[in-house]
Amino acid sequence: MKYLHAMVRVRDLDASLRFFRDGLGLRETRRKDYPEGRFTLVYLGAPANPESEVELTYNYDDEDYGSARNFGHLAFEVDDIYATCAHLQSMGITINRPPRDGHMAFVRSPDLVSVELLQKGGRLPPQEPWASMANTGVW
């Protein structure tokens, strides 16, 4: 058996690409448009292992996917959790569970998919403003 990808349905493809590509740094590996089926598939991979992909499924017709809490989460290892969170925050993305421990944070995509960020290697020393930042919302 071989792991291929995780699929998430997205309501706004541009907003989701801004989050996953521009915010998290994933790279688009391929895209397939199916106008007859009224959907587009966009595959994204992390620079360190692009073969393990996230598939964004954009259906042309509006549909309510609920809160997306039943999905669980995606997890990405990052080189500097503080820099990653600061970058996402500068883009207006809420850090739902700040990296108070220098190791783990949670954010949510525009479609409410929880994304776990894990520090590569050991924990970083606690750092403000993260060390004293409270949780926001749910993840």
Computed over every residue of the chain, the mean pLDDT equals 91
Whether the model pTM is above 0.85? no
Domain boundaries, the chain: 1-63, 72-138
Q: Is the pLDDT of residue 125 over 80?
A: yes
Distance CA 99, CA 87 (A): 13
Q: Determine the CATH number of domain 72-138.
A: 3.10.180.10
| 1-63 and 72-138 share one fold | yes
- Cis (ω within 30 of 0) for the bond into 129? yes
Residues marked active site are found at: 116
Q: List, in order, residues 6 or more apart from 43 with CB less than 8 Å away.
A: 5, 28, 29, 30, 31, 53, 54, 55, 56
Q: Does domain 1-63 have CATH number 3.40.50.2300?
A: no
pLDDT digits (tens, 9 = 90+) for 51-100: 999 999 999 998 777 766 556 688 899 999 999 999 999 999 999 999 99
